[in-house]
């Protein structure tokens, strides 16, 4: 079953225009936030779709005034997949939690909140997962201003090209040839 057919099924179940096919590298169904949980329950439980596995949920920063959540689903029974997309205002980004449909989504929602600041109402455990609790802000937002230090630990580093050009202590700079004796293992790469 392709993306367009799944959009038709959601429209038949939730009302005309509930799902819009959004073409990108991978076709996605664009859903309004208010229809997300209902659409997910339908897609999981419908015998023809059976999207029973949430592969990934990620957040996107879409300047100047929007953010989005993309949910990648797989049917282990029917052998098809689908990506759902929900856009939300950048000022106060919020998308309903789908952890009630796929409990593993809670981890992905925590990551999206931690790094992008997208709220997931209904997630009972929305707290930092990658950054320390004391961290200020959400560092994957395009408008994030990195502080110079976190508890006296520097957070800013030289540009990577500067490091390569001058080398690191104990290692030669990139312009120098590798040390003698660094030939590939017999029989190809990685031996």
Inter-CA distances, 163 with 115, 153, 159, Å: 26, 19, 7
Output the pLDDT for position 191: 45
Output the pLDDT for position 151: 80
pTM, two decimal places: 0.77
Q: pLDDT digit of tens for each residue in the chain (191 aa)?
A: 888 899 999 999 999 988 989 887 788 999 999 999 999 999 999 999 999 999 999 999 999 999 999 999 999 999 999 999 999 999 999 999 999 999 999 999 999 999 999 999 999 999 999 999 998 999 999 998 887 777 878 877 766 666 556 665 666 555 555 566 666 666 655 54
- The answer to whether 10 touches 30, Cβ cutoff 8 Å, is no
Pairwise CA distance, residues 129 & 123, whole Å: 14
- The answer to whether 59 touches 44, Cβ cutoff 8 Å, is no
Output the pLDDT for position 24: 76
Closest alpha carbon to 83 in 97, 95, 69, 93: 69
- For the chain, the domains span 3-166
Pairwise CA distance, residues 81 & 71, whole Å: 11
Output the pLDDT for position 61: 97
CATH architecture of the domain formed by 3-166: 2-Layer Sandwich (3.30)
Output the pLDDT for position 156: 75
81-89 and 28-30: which strand pairing? parallel
């Amino acid at each position: 079953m392709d993306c367009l057919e799944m959009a038709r099924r959601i429209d038949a179940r939730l009302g005309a225009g509930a799902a819009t096919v959004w073409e990108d590298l991978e076709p996605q169904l664009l859903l309004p936030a208010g229809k997300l949980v209902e659409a997910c329950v339908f897609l999981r439980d419908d015998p023809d779709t059976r999207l029973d596995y949430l592969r990934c949920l990620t957040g996107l920063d879409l300047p100047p005034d929007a953010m989005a959540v993309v949910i990648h689903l797989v049917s282990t029974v029917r052998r098809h997949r689908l990506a759902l997309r929900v856009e939300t205002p950048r000022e106060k980004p919020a998308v309903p939690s789908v952890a009630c449909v796929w409990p593993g989504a809670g981890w992905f929602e925590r990551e999206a909140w931690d790094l992008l600041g997208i709220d997931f109402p209904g997630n009972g455990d929305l707290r930092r997962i990658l950054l320390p609790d004391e961290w200020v802000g959400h560092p994957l937002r395009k408008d994030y201003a990195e502080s110079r230090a976190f508890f006296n630990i520097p957070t800013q580093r030289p540009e990577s090209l500067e490091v390569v050009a001058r080398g690191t202590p104990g290692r030669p700079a990139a312009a120098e040839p590798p040390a003698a004796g660094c030939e590939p293992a017999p029989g190809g790469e990685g031996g």
